[in-house]
Structure 1
Amino acid sequence: MTKTPDVLCIGAMLWDVIGRAPRRMAPGADVPGRIRHIPGGVALNVAIALARWGLVPAVLSAVGRDPEGEALIAQALRLGVVTDHLARDTGLPTDCYMGIEDSEGLIAAIADAHSLEQAGGAILAPLDALPGWTGPVVLDGNLTEDLLAAIARDPRLAQADLRVVPASPGKAERLEPLIAARRGCFYLNRLEAEILAGRACPDAASAAQAVVARGAARVLVTDGPLPAAEAMANGPTLIHRPPAVTVARVTGAGDCFLAAHLAAELTHEPRDAALARAVEASAAHVSGKDVP
């Protein structure tokens, strides 16, 4: 029997190929390290983290009927993610992400999410079977700007609690239609916030406030090992400093941040406690631990 989801995660579901070197790398370096193939994509990463918090997340995405797609779905099911609402018959291959990390963090990455982009509105077809959805919906910036704009106007999601995250700084501008619609809670790093704000900001708090000034109702901004912040219209700005950790990985930290924050809010924790939980969960992820 299909489980009824608590949260919908709309966006990328793909394989992450992550190469990590234990020391700093220079451009063109060829060094020993470890390479992992793990389930990834912003939407799936958030869903997996939500499942660890005891929620029932479903992913709306495009996954091919190739061996990579079958293996990815099997892994997602094992990790507690509902996969009944995927677009499988697009004739497109399963997407993939490649990242290179060193001891200082991410060196470079390439996201091949062309199948998700080409599938377009087909990934939203399952919303017809979920009428009147009022729960949380995580939106991933791997979606095209046109599709994000359509989602902002979609009557099937008119009452949904939108949680919006860009996939990377290069895709932050895709979120403009949602800011213009004054919908959603945005989860950004400082560079992404600066892109949306249109100016440099000295810290997470000023960056979050700048995006709110652009029209967003609520914005959370992380800044690596520096304090994270939450700003909202007509409310105080909060900050929380992450604990110092040894960096073991960086890919997926923002997705863990979002999932922990959303899980805290769904149990009615106050703003400061929810921000603290998110910051601490993200730091734990960076240190190599999965929480809870």
Structure 2
Amino acid sequence: MPEQRKPILVMGIFALDLAFRTHKLPAWGETVVGSSLATAPGGKGTNQAIAAARLGAETYFLSKIGMDAFGHIAEAAYREAGVRTDFLRRDPHAATGAAAILLDDASGENAIVVSPGSASALTTAEIDAAHEAIARSACFLTQCELPLPLVRHALGLARSLGVPTVLNPAPAVAGAESLLPLCDFVTPNEHEAQALTGLPVSTLAEAEAAADVLLARGARHAILTLGARGAYVKSATLKQHIPAFDAGPVVDTTGAGDAFNAGFAAALAEGMGVIRAARFGCAVAGIAVTRPGTSPSMPRRHEVEALLARHA
């Protein structure tokens, strides 16, 4: 394992994932019988923090959970993964978040409904209380599952401290484009890039056009994750397509974006350049999609290094 440098600080939510496998999505008013149910720790920030810790990065998680059964599951998940919870707040008055995930039996594609629960009660003062840890970090990573004013405040704090910021603008929400000037790195998938730019992203040429819009609106680097086509990286001085890694049959794509972002942040913390870090993130995602679940699918460091070695 490489010598560790500065830690990563991730802000996001915990949501207990309830994943239902089914042959079809129900219409409103319709009930369908699923083939299986699985539960696991989730929430994009949680998945990213757990994945980064599994990859060997010292990882802090900033969020809020309830003092309920789901909150106890969250604490156990962070403890097992080695995620630092110095800035994990507890709210006795709000329920911990949860997510309903519907998975297609045949393709592994997914549809998700998430309720952030107690994480939405995080305050700017609680974010500010982590400023010393943020200042010591190699990068600050967050998403759009928390209220945008909290995300904007945290990104602005990290930037004021000179810490590189990584925004995974997921899920796609109205107003997220206003965060771009605070982003050293923005990492949308095709759907999120289209929501941010108004442009389709179905080819590499379209990915480059969308990246240009993201850069023009203030992001320093645009890194579009393109599923089976890998990732596209662009900045004022960089432009490169990074192919996806084939680590086996695709089982579940739910955690792919989280795996990429965790791998990318962990690689930055080790001093890798942007292209190499994005390639590392693609390798992490390539393994994650071969397994069911979100945080349980996140690979260990030795697995990623073995995959990279096979594709050297």
- 2:24 is matched with which residue? 25
The range that moved more, 134-143 or 198-207, is 198-207
Q: Is the contact between residue 76 and residue 83 of structure 1 (CA under 8 Å) also seen in structure 2?
A: yes
Structure having greater relative contact order (Cα 8 Å, sep ≥ 6): 2
- 1:269 is matched with which residue? 272
- 1:93 is matched with which residue? 95
1:142 maps to 2:145: yes
- Structure 1 CA distance for aligned equivalents of residues 47 and 58 of structure 2: 13
- 1:15 is matched with which residue? 16
What is the CA deviation profile of residues 247-276 of structure 1, one whole-angstrom value per residue up to 9, with x for unaligned ones?
211211101101112222222333333222
- Structure 2 CA distance for aligned equivalents of residues 138 and 191 of structure 1: 20
Which consecutive residues of structure 2, in runs of 5 or more, have no partner in the other structure? 292-296, 302-312
1:60 maps to 2:55: no
Question: Match of 2:35, as an amino acid?
Answer: G
Q: Is the contact between residue 96 and residue 117 of structure 2 (CA under 8 Å) also seen in structure 1?
A: no
1:117 maps to 2:120: yes
Question: Match of 1:61, as an amino acid?
Answer: S
Structure 1 pair 128–206 and aligned structure 2 pair: CA distance change class (3 A): closer
- Structure 2 CA distance for aligned equivalents of residues 6 and 227 of structure 1: 26
1:286 maps to 2:300: no
- Match among 25, 42, 45 for residue 40 of structure 1: 42
What is the CA deviation profile of residues 144-202 of structure 1, one whole-angstrom value per residue up to 9, with x for unaligned ones?
12222222433785312211112312x2x443332134x33111101111111122234
The range that moved more, 185-194 or 260-269, is 260-269
% identical equivalent positions:
24
1:220 maps to 2:220: no
- Structure 2 CA distance for aligned equivalents of residues 10 and 43 of structure 1: 6
TM-score normalized by the length of structure 1: 0.87
**Mapping 1:189-268, distance limit 5 Å:** 189-203=189-203, 204-232=207-235, 234-244=236-246, 245-268=248-271
- Structure 1 CA distance for aligned equivalents of residues 225 and 50 of structure 2: 20
- Structure 1 CA distance for aligned equivalents of residues 146 and 298 of structure 2: 27
Deviation of the 1:230 alpha carbon: 0.8
Question: Match of 1:136, as an amino acid?
Answer: C
- Structure 1 CA distance for aligned equivalents of residues 284 and 144 of structure 2: 22
Deviation of the 1:107 alpha carbon: 4.0
- Structure 2 CA distance for aligned equivalents of residues 129 and 238 of structure 1: 35
Which consecutive residues of structure 1, in runs of 5 or more, have no partner in the other structure? none
Q: Output the aligned Cα RMSD.
A: 2.4
TM-score normalized by the length of structure 2: 0.82
Question: Match of 1:271, as an amino acid?
Answer: V
